[in-house]
Structure 1
Amino acid sequence: MKNMLKGLGAALCVALPILAQAPADAATPAGAGAADQALVQRGAYLAQLGDCAACHTAPKGKPFAGGLPMNTPMGRIYVTNITPDAQTGIGGYTEADFARALREGVAKDGHNLYPAMPYPSYAKVNDDDVKALYAFFMHGVAPVQQANRESDIKWPLNMRWPLMFWNMAFLQKGAYRDKPGKDVAWNRGAYLVQGLGHCGSCHTPRGVAFQESALDESGSAFLSGALLDGWFASNLTGEHNAGLGRWSDEDLRTFLKTGANRHASAFGAMTSVINNSTQALSDQDIAAMSAYLKSLPPVGGNGAPAYTYDPQATKVSLDRPANDAGARVYTAFCMHCHGVDGRGFAPMLAPLAGNPNVLAKDASSLINVTLNGTGDLVINGVPSPFPMPGFAAVLDDKQIADVLSFVRAGWNNGAPAVGAAEVAKLRQSTQAGR
């Protein structure tokens, strides 16, 4: 089980179409001549901050041309073309159209976007950053003629007009305002995390109407971890076991820049966030995000006492693996990377002892990554030498449940056991169509 643990969480960031298809006869927006290159470059940076490419670029597809399938509780959707093509992209959008779609979830033709697209977060983006993003997408992206694909959501759930009422209930309009009594770095970090970074879209639990339970630190559920599309996006509060309570500021900055630190390694959707977004951010912005996240009080967790490392009982089990089914699997498939002591070889190979994802109450991410593995972290163009392989074809449901139960109990982790039925359920949902 290489690079088992992801640290900041890996739920799918379900950014539905940011912008809808423009009419074929839409006029080219004003100002489509020579753009201010400094503004375009700033917009390119902001697009990286928002990780727009991860959702709007399909595997082997052209940049921002859409087509990537994404699962939602209502059915599968396909992200849209946001290149400046006038017929199939957003070439007909004015800056006002762009801003309305980005921050209010309303397309140029007036239809509402599904709230899985993180416009409740983008509502906090200020006017200057919207202007820069618009300049980038109009003048820094190559137009691609690629028609958008209709969603697989069935009637009546595919109707858009009820979303007007969803917006009335849950959309908080207005750009982020600096909080009094907080320094410049904290406010910058809050703006990035809550806004373009849209961290809450994955890491905050959702209510019955698929609304985020909190949009900022004033809500106790904010960034406390959430289950989404077969992954559990980690707790980003100061909780000691499953959160960032034991991470130093340097640990967090290192993770955002490289996807790995002494506590964990990125996997699942967080791999894409590291590859396409956070590694490219300035040191100043990374420090600001870390300062804000590290200020969040502890919320959630599994209710266990504060973690302390204790290898003795696990060492005894591994000395006699025939006495424990999980230990037998661990010895055969996991120990050469993660060690007898469970501490791995960080940052190349993630530790299992004390890792926030092992200690989390919800084991979905551990099951998912054990079944399906993860993609390569690619830092400065260099892929990770030890990506996590998938074991779906090698281990059955009981074996995976046994080994994860062994890991979650080992080295004083003290997390709940995993059942074979949990593994079977995730195997079925994540292996469908492979």
Structure 2
Amino acid sequence: MTGLHTPAAMPGFAAPFANPAGSPIRELFPYLSQPGMISLAGGYPSPSLFDAEGLAQAAAQAMAGDAQALQYGATEGLPVLRTALAALMGARGIQASAEQMMVTTGSQQAFDLLVRALIEPGDTVLVEVPAYPATLQALRLAQARIVPVPMDEHGLQTDALAYLLHRLPATQRPKLLYTVPNFSNPRGTLLSAQRREALVQLACTHGFWVVEDDPYGELRFDAPESNAAAMPPTLRALGDRLAADGMNPVVYLSSLSKTVAPALRIGWMLADSSLLRRCAIAKQTVDLCTSPLAQMVAARYLASDRYPATVQRARIEYQRRMLALVQGIATQLDGHVQCAAPAGGMFVWATFAQSIDPQALFDAAVSQQVLYVPGTAFYPDNAQLNTMRLSFAAPEVPQIEQAVRRLAAAVTLSMR
């Protein structure tokens, strides 16, 4: 027969996607469908704390105008929201104008845009470890050279960073460093004021960008004493003060996902104008603009003055849930699992005894219907470690108490 031929093979995938690894946290989703499973895994805000009434009012106001919220918008974001976010920055001690802000589809997109604008294959990026897995995933896909910087109970170790920078050859000069200084994900640490200043000084001296990711900073718990210490200054504010040439090396990222609602997908970036412009061009090729409807809802909500009360409710409730988890671990796991109470945020970082096999513990926990994220997910080398991240934000206190009992049973089953 004529006209027949062997079909050609389809082209291969781009190198970063030839054999890509998915998000280690998202890979846990199939377990969530199991009946009766209690999840301490995902860093999800509690649905019971969403201000649905306030958001419904804001949505109605957004739709009550001339339908402009249904049109395309500026890539940098709606002026009304950028102005509101600049005011929110002022409440956090950061001087910012609307022109210095760019609205993004969640703060994760903001980081992705930075990677697109700055990182070429082989470039060195410094990352505090343990680190947020989506950060590691984005950097791997960009084929960056990821160099870990260790943390302790006070956050990123700036002494170790200084030593590392001194030893790196000129050809491996870092382009940026990623950190979550306020109640880090996954460790829950609060970077000390002294280390914050040291970090910004190092960035100014060695010439690299610092990405200050701050989704949890407003979720600080009240100390037992009434005179709780004030939050240390943001890295961005320190950059304004310490940068001798006026070029602030700190890029500030945040979002409304943890304080208002993740479904809004409203994040933002505050950065030097030259960097912001390039990120805006990168965003044009990704989604043109963040949903103007979602932006208008967020702007109306922030203008309603309901935001401070919403955040305060979350702080009180998350502290209550955190204490239930930490105290439950201390009393029911018989020293086999240890953790420290964080001063804010959504996470507890726990270490378990070397006599417990990490994979055996995870398998036993699933069999006992309790889910957590193994510590290996938060390191670039995927090392097997006797650590875990536990999130207390989404489950109610009775669920947390039940989860601790199930975790205790899993520990017993997994002892070597």
Scaled to the shorter chain, the TM-score interval is under 0.3
TM-score normalised according to structure 2 size: 0.24
TM-score using structure 1 length: 0.23
More strand by share: 2
